[in-house]
Amino acid sequence: MARKRIREEEEAAIDMTPMLDIVFIMLIFFIVTTSFVKEAGIDVQKPKAANASKKPSANIFIAIRENGEIWMDKRVVDVERVSANIEKLLAEQPTDIVIIQADKGARHGVVVKVMDAIKDAGIDKISIAAATGA
């Protein structure tokens, strides 16, 4: 009679190894397929646009402050270094679009210089962020 109890207890045990293997494989899958967004690192007051439309998401954001500071990847960058920084970010995470978040008081010349640097880095799709509303 004692032997029957031991066999019943052994049969009731559940092997957790296959489930843990599947969870581990799913974790690796989600880590590999996650896209990492390189945000500018600051908040700007975007100008309002009546016809602003939602664009596809991008991985690279460039912020331009009212005083002309250019922010990429949470640090200040010179206009001359924008192209090199974009090339570095493209090597880490390829994308075909860059979003410029220019403050509504930012100078037009600085924005155009940044756009030229983005084109020099090989990206043709540039979007300028605007707040919705009139």
Angle at 55 between CA 94 and CA 119, to 5 degrees: 50
Query: Is residue 43 domain-resident?
Result: no
Are 111 and 55 in a shared domain? yes
Using the predicted structure, report yes or no on whether residue 4 has a pLDDT greater than 60. Answer: no
Distance CA 83, CA 91 (A): 12
Token look-up 């978040």 returns 101
Are 73 and 16 in a shared domain? no
Report pLDDT digits (tens) over 40-96.
666 676 676 766 667 667 778 899 998 989 998 888 999 899 999 888 888 888 888
Range of the domain at 28: 2-33
Query: Is residue 42 domain-resident?
Result: no
Angle at 91 between CA 87 and CA 92, to 5 degrees: 120
Report pLDDT digits (tens) over 30-56.
888 776 666 666 667 667 676 666 766
Pairing of strands 97-102, 60-64: parallel
